[in-house]
Amino acid sequence: MLKAIYAQEDKAAAREKSQVTAAKLREMKLSKAGEKLETGIEETLTYMDFPTQHWCKMRINNTIERLNREI
């Protein structure tokens, strides 16, 4: 479910998907997980403020993984 949030095309769609996901987590009796998602989602979507061609490089903080993907 979390991967679907970051697969969205823009920040607004990702926010909307995160709200739907948080509601699903609450339905599954995972209310703390839903609350954590809602409170922390903005920090994790910061990379979406930049042009889309930069997103992949910014999402991955492991230098070796990023280098391998670029190659």
Give the closest residue to 57 by CA, choosing from 49, 43, 67, 46. 67
User: How far is it, in rounded angstroms, from Cα 39 to Cα 35?
Assistant: 6
Q: Could you tell me the residue range of the domain that residue 48 belongs to?
A: 2-70
Name the domain count of the chain: 1
**pLDDT over threshold 70, residue 16:** yes
Question: How much is the pTM?
Answer: 0.71
The 10s digit of each residue's pLDDT in 40-63 is 999 888 888 888 777 766 666 666
